[in-house]
Amino acid sequence: GAVVSQHPSRVICKSGTSVKIECRSLDFQATTMFWYRQFPKQSLMLMATSNEGSKATYEQGVEKDKFLINHASLTLSTLTVTSAHPEDSSFYICSASRQGLDTQYFGPGTRLTVL
């Protein structure tokens, strides 16, 4: 149990376009979802926390107008990278947790390449 999926697994886009990444909890209801970014050979950096039905909370230094997060249901959160630039190229990973529990279950990640 506790499976989290992400779609797409890889995406290549042109500079200036927007990209949407989906994160789904397949077998449990996720009251909280987290979005991370990971650059090559580096650790995971938390970008934002989203709770179902409310606005996401962004970490310091993360532009909320650039990285739009929507958590419309207990099983789906989306991250939209708007007006993407090459420096946004990274590995984006979501995680999900059940209400009142610490454990975060991670998705397989999405490799974004902006040309």
Partner 1 sequence: QQQVKQSPQSLIVQKGGISIINCAYENTAFDYFPWYQQFPGKGPALLIAIRPDVSEKKEGRFTISFNKSAKQFSLHIMDSQPGDSATYFCAASTYNTGKLIFGQGTTLQVKP
The reply on whether position 103 binds partner 1 by CB under 8 A is: yes
> Does residue 54 bind partner 1 (CB under 8 A)?
no
Cα 54 from Cα 77, distance rounded (Å): 11
Contact between 89 and partner 1 (CB under 8 A)?
A: no
What does residue 108 show for φ and ψ, rounded to 5 degrees? -80, -10
* Those residues with Cβ within 8 angstroms of residue 41's Cβ, 6 or more apart along the chain or in another chain: none
Binding partner 1 (rule: CB under 8 A), the pick from 24, 28, 30, 34 is: 34
* Shortest distance (Å) from residue 114 CB to partner 1: 18
Cα angle at 22 between 89 and 36, to 5 degrees?
Answer: 50
Residue 21 makes contact with partner 1 by CB under 8 A: no
Which listed range, 12-20, 68-76, 78-86, 105-113, lies at the site for partner 1 (CB under 8 A)? 105-113
